[in-house]
Structure 1
Amino acid sequence: MTDRTCPYDPPAGLLDLQRQAPLVKVQLPTGPAWLVTSYDAARTLLDDPRMSSDMGREGFPTLYRQKMRPVLKGSFMRMDGEEHAFYRTMLAGEFSVKRVAAMRPEIEQACDQLLDDMIRQGPPANLHDSYGIPVSSSSICRLLGVPYEDAEFFTTHLEALFDPHRAGAPERIAKSKAALSAYLDELVTRKQKEPGDDMISRLVADYLVPGKVDRPELLLTSYLLLAAGHETTANMITTGTAALLMHPEQFALVRDDPKLLRGAVEELLRYLSIFQFGITRIATEDIRVGDQTVAAGEGIVVSPLLGNRDESVYDDPHTLDVRRRGRPHLSFGHGPHLCVGHTLARIELQIAFERLLTRLPDLRLAVPEPDIPFRTETLVFGTVDLPVTWGERTERTPA
């Protein structure tokens, strides 16, 4: 189901299922489950309180066989109801529009410094390593309060978590998880003694010290934010750039009209749908959706990938159109579990693309399109590397 004839189109097998019905029974390694293929059914179910995220429930659908364990405190992405709402409230202020807007100058500066380095070294460059990864990791480090001198450590270990194909990957992933967890533990201790203007310092002061959360909760919550936020944003920067370069008329539209940028980011999020394997849930009661009934205890996999390509919602959904307007995409989810960091992700992407297209207006691929490597079998879809080149026309860093 992950085989793609075109890297940017959903697998043909999934499109065949979408043509059958809004909800289709599929067989997962853990047993049968409902695959949600339509936009409207996806929004309906993701907003339904009878849909549980608790992986500890018997029958919860997973894409691979694993022993079900109780959800740990701090693993808010897999919680429901009031317990989930507590963590959302705890984190809401950290991702508010005001807080994220205050990060804009630092993100712009980071992007320009990276582009300065690329221009100084000259083409070609691997945009994934030179721009996508460091833009994302620097933003996460600023959010958490990681000192600048430790950023390279973070980048190295974060990248190891999401690179399962290199030799010795299982051992490297385990070592990187342990290294990041140990670092976060030490960082919390440091912020207790020397607080700063950052998320960890505020959570320590407002939640850990008063006893509202314990240390393992805080560490796990921070780790989940770190891991989830880094890979998705880095992939969107690199894979989004590849999509624009493979559609040069779209690249030119965004480059030449800055007013299109915000909408272009939303269209790239819709078109790419990099979280490709879906959002897993289990029904706690019978749920009627159109002509189908999802019985209590049945697993559900909501596919943003298919919802974002629903022909009943989007005209010509398999076409990248940066001028597209219409209903919001599902790439950040929907309902109570809407991605908590979506505001930051949007700002990061807007700035990253704006600075890239401004500084390197004649950016282009350095290899033929078929030679661009894509990861299609991992949780997050995207380019592995993106070799790019450019001519002499570059813009200077703003004074």
Structure 2
Amino acid sequence: MYPSSIDTSERSVGEDGLPNFPMRRCPFAPPAEYAEIRKKPGLSKVRMPDGAWAWIVTRHNEVKQVLGDNRFSTVPSTPNYPMIAPARASLLRNEHPATLIRMDPPEHTKHRRMFSREFMVKTVEAMKPYLNDLVDRLLDEMEAKGGSCDFAEVFALALPTTVISNMLGVPYEDQEYFHERALQKLDLKADPEVPLRAGREMREYLDGLITRKLEAAEPADDLITRMLHNYMLPGHITRAEALATAELLLMGGHETTANMIALGCLSLLLHPDQKDALVADPSLVVGAVEEMLRFHTIVHYNGPRVALEDVEVGGTLIRKGDGVLALISAANRDPAAFDDPDRFDIRRKALHHVAFSFGSHQCLGQALARAELQIVFSKLFQRFPNLKLAVPVEELEFRYDAFVYGIEKLPVTW
């Protein structure tokens, strides 16, 4: 069984009676308050750390409605944009220029179109021989560790970091540098200066990389080089915008998938019957990956928006200028959308989950993430049928205070 306890000291209500946001999630579930709020008619309000209030949206259909409606802005400079932590506010308010995911149409449409081809299903299909070979090599390296390792570092982080480094043309040997800064940018409990400094250092690093690519005698065959020659040099985007895009893709391409691989492995270790079923029937891997994505929903604070005009959602009138939190982690545990949603079940038909968000801002790299996860879990337990946790599950440390949820270490033996 999963541990399901929650530190009740994290639950608090402001003087005005509004629940304080964010609430602390359980190791394997969103905050219990989401389910309580979902049962109430209409929408509810929560109090943000800066004292502002926002509507909280927890039901599957209504989360999709908000995320799919361009009358809700995702631009952080919009008045009343819900800031989930001072560190997050510091980062978003000083991020110039904004990244793709923090733009509204038509700017968002223009920038997304430039890079969507790089992540199309057809493109990812062509990458699968490389992905298969890479997974096999990393499993070889894991086996060479001699019977135990930290799976989170040795495999879960190494795979997507290698993939995105190769795609972007970023030296893999620099991975420790950019991974550390990614963690600092995502730490919600950090001093507000920490994510700002990490962002500056990340873009300084990428600026030097761009200079080297522009000075190369022959253009390399990588995404950053194509972006420079197809969009920056012709004047379609500025150098600063190229830097912002490179940073977004580098962070998004390794941090999320790394945590999903580690948590997916843990899910199967804690459900050996389902692990054995997957080994016996590899065709279950597609559904297993979708269930991992739904169950963990690691980008668990995704969905801050501001209404650009009056919109009715769930029988509640959201006024122009109101802040809104459309929480995908709550939507993916809605019993109206998923039977027994707190149960992990690799045979579940979960493709309608919103772990990659929904609407025009859904994850650009979702086809690549799915391919990596499917290949990993079609091979991992076939190669290591005796893989097990090296410590009690209660001793594992989870990243509660990060924008991307995950696990610090996953010690395993075989």
TM-score, normalization: structure 2? 0.87
Q: Percent identity?
A: 38
Deviations 1:157-214, CA, capped at 9 Å, x for gaps: 314431688xx99888666544532332232233333312211121111101211111
Quick one: structure 1 residues 304 and 216, their matched pair in 2 at CA, closer, same or farther if it must change by over 3 Å?
same
Give the deviation of 1:10 after TM superposition: 1.9
- Confirm whether residue 26 of structure 1 aligns to residue 46 of structure 2: yes
Quick one: structure 1 residues 64 and 188, their matched pair in 2 at CA, closer, same or farther if it must change by over 3 Å?
same
Measure, in 2, the Cα distance between the counterparts of 1:309 and 1:2: 16
Equivalent residue runs for 1:288-303 within 5 Å = 288-303=312-327
Matched-pair contact (CA < 8 Å) for 1:154–1:180: no
TM-score, normalization: structure 1? 0.90
Q: Tell me the secondary structure at the aligned position of residue 346 of structure 2.
A: coil
The residue that corresponds to 1:64 in the other structure is: 85
Measure, in 1, the Cα distance between the counterparts of 2:239 and 2:24: 42
Measure, in 2, the Cα distance between the counterparts of 1:178 and 1:289: 38
Quick one: structure 1 residues 175 and 43, their matched pair in 2 at CA, closer, same or farther if it must change by over 3 Å?
closer
Deviates most, 314-323 or 346-355? 346-355
Measure, in 2, the Cα distance between the counterparts of 1:22 and 1:178: 42
Deviates most, 82-91 or 326-335? 326-335
Deviations 1:107-162, CA, capped at 9 Å, x for gaps: 2222222211121221211001100111111011011022xxx3131244314431
Give the deviation of 1:25 after TM superposition: 0.8
The residue that corresponds to 2:57 in the other structure is: 36
Measure, in 1, the Cα distance between the counterparts of 2:333 and 2:58: 9
Equivalent residue runs for 1:155-166 within 5 Å = 155-162=176-183
Deviations 1:279-308, CA, capped at 9 Å, x for gaps: 100000000113101110000011111100
Aligned residue type for 2:234: P
- Confirm whether residue 211 of structure 1 aligns to residue 211 of structure 2: no
Quick one: structure 1 residues 331 and 224, their matched pair in 2 at CA, closer, same or farther if it must change by over 3 Å?
same
Equivalent residue runs for 1:155-234 within 5 Å = 155-162=176-183, 177-192=199-214, 193=216, 194-234=218-258
- Confirm whether residue 9 of structure 1 aligns to residue 50 of structure 2: no
Query: Unaligned stretches of 5+ in structure 2?
Result: 1-21
Quick one: structure 1 residues 171 and 37, their matched pair in 2 at CA, closer, same or farther if it must change by over 3 Å?
closer
Measure, in 1, the Cα distance between the counterparts of 2:202 and 2:231: 21
Return the match for 1:126 from 136, 147, 150. 150
Measure, in 1, the Cα distance between the counterparts of 2:354 and 2:396: 26
Aligned residue type for 2:335: E
Aligned residue type for 2:386: D
Between Structure 1 and Structure 2, how many residues are aligned? 384
Deviates most, 22-31 or 252-261? 22-31
Measure, in 2, the Cα distance between the counterparts of 1:173 and 1:129: 22
Q: Tell me the secondary structure at the aligned position of residue 243 of structure 1.
A: helix
Matched-pair contact (CA < 8 Å) for 1:132–1:237: yes
Q: Tell me the secondary structure at the aligned position of residue 361 of structure 1.
A: coil
Matched-pair contact (CA < 8 Å) for 1:108–1:355: no
Deviates most, 26-35 or 15-24? 15-24
Matched-pair contact (CA < 8 Å) for 2:294–2:350: no
Deviations 1:188-247, CA, capped at 9 Å, x for gaps: 233333312211121111101211111111011110111122211100001111111111
Return the match for 2:308 from 272, 275, 284. 284
Aligned residue type for 2:207: D
Deviations 1:226-269, CA, capped at 9 Å, x for gaps: 11222111000011111111111121122221101011101100
The residue that corresponds to 1:101 in the other structure is: 125
The residue that corresponds to 2:74 in the other structure is: 53
Measure, in 2, the Cα distance between the counterparts of 1:25 and 1:58: 17
Deviations 1:44-73, CA, capped at 9 Å, x for gaps: 111111010111111111112446748634
Matched-pair contact (CA < 8 Å) for 1:61–1:280: yes
Measure, in 1, the Cα distance between the counterparts of 2:379 and 2:225: 30
